[in-house]
Amino acid sequence: MLEETYLKIISAKTAELFAAATKVGAILSKAENKEKDALEFYGRNLGLTFQIADDTLDYNAELKLFGKKLVKIFLKEKLPYQ
């Protein structure tokens, strides 16, 4: 899988979820637009970082520890959430 494709997938999934969560918090606290935007940006980047770290653990984990069929994932070049 190309890096561009991977980043597009995780941007549309985990990063947007984190961005929405942080922005909702800012909206509910009646923050200024600048603060809302900053928190949304932070959440999006936190989501990207989280998903990259999680996927790295999936690919480098011992099979016993996570119980995933890592060889199948590698051979199909698919991420667990595709």
- Phi/psi of residue 69, nearest 5 degrees: -90, 80
In this predicted structure, the answer to whether residue 18 has a pLDDT above a threshold of 70 is yes
For 25-64, how does the pLDDT look when each residue is reduced to its tens digit (9 = 90+)? 999 999 999 999 999 999 999 999 999 988 887 776 655 5
pLDDT score recorded for residue 55? 85
The H-or-E segment that residue 15 falls in is none
| CA nearest to 45, candidates 23, 24, 73 | 23
- Using CA of residue 36, residue 41, residue 43, residue 44, what is the dihedral sign? positive
Residue bearing the bigger pLDDT, 1 or 67: 1
